[in-house]
């Protein structure tokens, strides 16, 4: 779960990292009031869970409360990379001398964390990382040792950050540990004209597995970032949206994972992970199909089921009833195997839907779905 910038800012402040004074509102009138409280001049910042707000026009200075109201009116409701701006944060402007980049991120493959830091922070850090990787220091952090002042000093030195950033690096690690975060990122971390080190932007991703003990953000942050994921969650589906074109439905997380791999092996990209679990009722199938079909990127759908306790004919019945409920707009490839597979296939054959075809193997089904996605 990602936090909004204003929530990250709050955590930084609690852990003793300097942040600009700021408040959040969902109305232009509120923005005027806040600007007044903050002394007139402010920076108006869209609160959306995506980066690149500055380049999209979602971060704008305002010279006085009236300008803050106008600016908030422009930014509220704006679309930034598919995220609608519902709130703005108004922050006291900071006089920037230098911009740095610092983050800690879980490196799953190494079983460690990684400190990433650069003396060239700001809006173009991705470009710096791509064109001049040597300007970005990447230092492994052992989770058991953490970031001590000595470790922080090594990170700062490797990245060419001034020594005053060491304290922030230690505190930022404490944010990560105490808040159960998988990522904390500050870009830019700035040195102000007065020589203070201030976190001007923040991104924090919490580990959902620690949700049981990190309840303070409640429902606001628990909102799904993706509208289709939100709809799927409301329907009780085990759905993760991916960025490909072959919709995937399967029973059992392991089978769905391997289906993603096989589809990728056929040169196509999976559009989602959807595990309909053991029951595979018509309702779950209909709900799953309807979520997947409303993803405009989806070109074909692959249903891969291995019948176990829930036999294939029951799953096939579910698919047939789902087809009555959901208007199929894209080709559907079904592979049924395992318990009662022959009966299940007969049920689908009898339905004879023009957009539904069957395959007998997982590889064959994936190949066909990939082919359909490439030609439709
Ligand atoms: P992002 O584009 O989503 O990463 O949003 P940021 O919060 O990082 O803001 C984008 C850029 O706006 C920053 O890199 C800064 O250069 C600039 N910016 C943000 N707040 C201030 C401020 O208080 N003063 C000044 N001078 N620049 C700011
Ligand atoms: Mn930023």
Domains along the sequence of the chain with CATH: 21-91 (3.30.1490.20), 96-212 (3.30.470.20), 227-375 (3.40.50.261)
Could you tell me if the CB of 347 is within 6 A of ligand 1? no
Task: Give the CA distances from residue 183 to residues 3, 215, 256, 376, in Å, rounded to whole numbers and listed in that order.
Answer: 10, 18, 27, 39
pLDDT, one tens digit per residue, over 253-272 is: 999 999 999 999 999 999 99
∠ CA 102-104-110, rounded to 5°: 135
Task: Note the pLDDT tens digit of each residue in 5-51.
Answer: 999 999 999 999 999 999 999 999 999 999 999 999 999 999 999 99
- The question of whether 185 is a catalytic residue gets the answer yes
Residue located nearest, by CA, to atom 13 of ligand 1: 122
CA of 14 from ligand 1 middle (Å) equals 21
Which atom, in ligand 1's list, is nearest to the CA of 93? 23
pLDDT of residue 82: 85
Check if the beta carbon of residue 140 is closer than 8 Å to that of residue 106. Answer: no
Q: Is 29 helix (H, G, I), strand (E, B) or coil?
A: helix
- Region of 48 please: left (phi>0), alpha (psi -120 to 50) or beta: beta
Q: 50 C-alpha to center of ligand 2: Å?
A: 10
Between CA 49 and CA 5 the distance in angstroms is 8
Find where tokens 């929530």 sit.
7
Active site annotation includes 245 = no
Tell me, in angstroms, the distance from the centre of ligand 1 to residue 54's CA.
6
The verdict on the CB of residue 23 being under 6 Å from ligand 1 is: no
3-state DSSP assignment of residue 266:
coil
* Top-ranked range on mean pLDDT: pick from 123-127, 276-280, 367-371: 367-371
- Is the full-model pTM beyond 0.75? no
**Count of CA atoms in the C-beta half-sphere (13 A) of 198:** 18
Query: What is the residue whose two structure tokens read 């990379």?
Result: 81
State the DSSP string of 285-338. HHHHHHHHHT-TT--EEEEEEEESSS-HHHHHHHHHHHHHHS---S-EEEEEEE
Q: Which atom of ligand 1 is nearest to the CA of 91?
A: 23
Atom of ligand 1 nearest to the CA of 54: 2
Ligand number with the minimum distance to the CA of 97? 1
Q: What is the pLDDT of residue 346?
A: 97
Does the annotation flag 339 for ligand binding?
Answer: no
Ligand 1 pocket check for 201: Cβ under 6 Å = yes
**Pocket flag, ligand 1, residue 83 (CB < 6 Å):** no
> How many other CB atoms are there within 10 angstroms of residue 63's CB atom?
13
pLDDT band at 278 (very low <50, low <70, confident <90, very high): confident
Give the residue among 190, 36, 34 at the shortest CA–CA distance from 102.
190
């Amino acid at each position: 779960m990602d936090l909004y910038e204003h929530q990250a800012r709050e955590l930084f402040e609690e852990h003793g990292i300097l942040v600009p004074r700021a408040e959040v509102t969902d109305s232009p009138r509120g923005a005027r009031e806040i600007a007044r409280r903050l002394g007139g001049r402010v920076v108006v910042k869209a609160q959306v869970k995506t980066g690149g707000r500055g380049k999209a026009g979602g971060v704008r200075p305002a010279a006085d409360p009236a300008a803050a109201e106008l600016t908030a009116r422009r930014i509220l409701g704006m679309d930034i990379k598919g995220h609608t701006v519902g709130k703005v944060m108004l922050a006291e402007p900071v006089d920037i001398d230098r911009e740095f980049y610092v983050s800690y991120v879980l490196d799953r493959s190494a079983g460690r964390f990684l400190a990433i830091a650069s003396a060239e922070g700001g809006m173009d850090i991705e470009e710096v990382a791509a064109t001049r990787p040597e300007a970005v220091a990447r230092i492994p952090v052992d989770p058991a040792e953490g970031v001590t002042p000595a470790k922080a000093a090594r990170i700062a030195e490797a990245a060419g950050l001034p020594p005053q950033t060491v304290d922030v690096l230690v505190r930022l690690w404490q944010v990560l540990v105490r808040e159960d975060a998988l990522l904390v990122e500050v870009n830019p971390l700035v040195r102000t004209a007065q020589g203070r080190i201030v976190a001007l932007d923040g991104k924090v991703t919490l580990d959902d597995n620690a949700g049981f003990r990190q309840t303070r953000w409640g429902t606001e942050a628990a909102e799904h970032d993706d509208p289709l994921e939100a709809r799927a969650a409301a329907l009780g589906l085990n759905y993760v949206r991916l960025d490909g074109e072959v919709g995937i439905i399967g029973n059992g997380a392991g089978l769905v994972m391997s289906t993603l791999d096989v589809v990728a092996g056929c040169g196509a990209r999976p559009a989602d992970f959807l595990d309909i679990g053991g029951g595979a009722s018509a309702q779950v199938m209909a709900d799953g199909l309807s979520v997947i079909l409303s993803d405009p990127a989806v070109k074909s759908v692959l249903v891969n089921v291995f019948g176990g306790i829930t036999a294939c004919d029951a799953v096939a019945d579910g698919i047939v009833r789902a087809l009555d409920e959901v208007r199929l707009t894209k080709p559907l490839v079904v592979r049924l195997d395992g318990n009662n597979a022959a009966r299940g296939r007969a049920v689908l054959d009898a339905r004879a839907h023009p957009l539904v075809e069957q395959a007998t193997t997982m590889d064959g089904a994936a190949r066909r779905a990939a082919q359909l996605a490439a030609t439709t």
